[in-house]
Structure 1
Amino acid sequence: MSDFLLIDDDEAFAMVLARSLARRGHAVHCARNADEALEMAARRPARILLDLNLAGDSGLRLLPALRAACPASAIVVLTGYASIATAVEATKLGAVQYLAKPAGVAEILAAFEQQAANPELPVAPQPMSLRRVTWEHLQRVLGENDGNISATARALNMHRRTLQRMLAKKPVKS
């Protein structure tokens, strides 16, 4: 089996995923930030799973350094904030695949195996609704501003009270 470097700032998620990969016979090393990731990249892992959002920093900034440190490694970007723009950018920077969370272990392993385009892959059954995409975006920007409603409203160029009303609603299912 192969050696994995898992780069994610969410410790709980990283531990669960590392345990699942280890059960399938893979050696997994975890890094929580860019410095740890580059240090562990010296081991030249065969596969690197990179979170797009690393404690407010972008995994896209780390991708070229990982590509330079481990040119033979396959890199898959995994994110809870998927967008076409970041998918295109990640691929241009050297990622072999781009997955949206939640992604199961089987899906992650399949992403590493399937590095060339495959027109036979089925299209996702139903994309996220516009309301869900809006909710996810609001949560991402709120997280980037450490939960500060006023700063988030300024970043989104909207009135603070409007944002508060939107956040008071329950999250949209899909």
Structure 2
Amino acid sequence: MSELYENAEPRMLLLVEDDEAFARTLGRSFERRGYRVLLAANVDEASAMLVDHAPGYAVVDLKLKGTSSGLACVQMLHQHDAAMLIVVLTGFASINTAVEAIKLGACQYLAKPSNTDDIEAAFGHVAGAVELEMTNRSTSIKTLEWERIHAVLAETDFNISEAARRLGLHRRTLARKLEKQRVK
């Protein structure tokens, strides 16, 4: 694992997740592994935690309720401490948001459902690895469609009506597609 900045508590994790039940469950799981867990529901709460604490790790949900954005949170955490290991979790995975999260300072990007083992492995796998196994599976039409939908949703700040217009879909059709893809 990368060296943590000198004020960081080595096993302190900031969990930025607006789903309280999921946050509690994931937090307890990390506590059983010896982490001290701080919970925040949005960017402002996460920023306030950094005044008194220096976590070496962070797990950030990509889509936070309200005006908070997981990407904005990643950017704020990375600006606060570039050595912090940040993993982004999302139920709305897309190539665009993965690339953006990494550009903004995340060390890894995981699709939900991900468990504590997956997240801890992501913290340990910071540098790129050339020995990763390549699969022969081609990308399905449904996956490509979902990635395009998510990219347009991100461009429109998750405005379903505007995204539907840009995709040439009826708003209800897009809403049904999103409901079918819900991962949480």
Single out whichever of 69-78 and 18-27 deviates more from structure 2: 69-78
8 Å CA contact retained: 2:82, 2:105: no
Instruction: Give the equivalent residue in structure 2 for 1:158.
Output: 169
The number of equivalent residue pairs is 164
Aligned amino acid, residue 55 of structure 1:
K
User: Helix, strand or coil for the counterpart of 2:82?
Assistant: coil
- Is 1:103–2:114 an aligned residue pair? yes
TM-score by length of 1: 0.77
Q: Which consecutive unaligned segments of at least 5 residues does structure 1 have?
A: none
Q: Deviations over 1:65-103 (max 9, x none)?
A: 211222331111111111111111111111111111111
Q: Deviations over 1:6-36 (max 9, x none)?
A: 0011111111110111111111111001110
Aligned ranges for residues 1-174 of structure 1 at < 5 Å?
2-42=11-51, 43-56=53-66, 57-123=68-134, 129-131=140-142, 134=145, 137=149, 144=158, 153-154=164-165, 156-160=167-171, 163=173, 167=176, 171=180
Aligned amino acid, residue 87 of structure 2:
V
8 Å CA contact retained: 2:12, 2:35: yes
What CA distance in whole angstroms lies between the structure 1 residues aligned with 2:114 and 2:135?
13
Give 1:134 shift. 4.6
Aligned amino acid, residue 36 of structure 2:
A
TM-score by length of 2: 0.73
What CA distance in whole angstroms lies between the structure 1 residues aligned with 2:16 and 2:92?
16
Aligned amino acid, residue 117 of structure 1:
G
Aligned amino acid, residue 47 of structure 2:
L
Q: Which has the higher contact order (CA 8 A, sep 6+)?
A: 2
Change (3 A) 1:55 1:115: same
8 Å CA contact retained: 2:43, 2:69: no
Q: Which consecutive unaligned segments of at least 5 residues does structure 2 have?
A: 1-9
What CA distance in whole angstroms lies between the structure 1 residues aligned with 2:73 and 2:87?
13
Change (3 A) 1:9 1:120: same
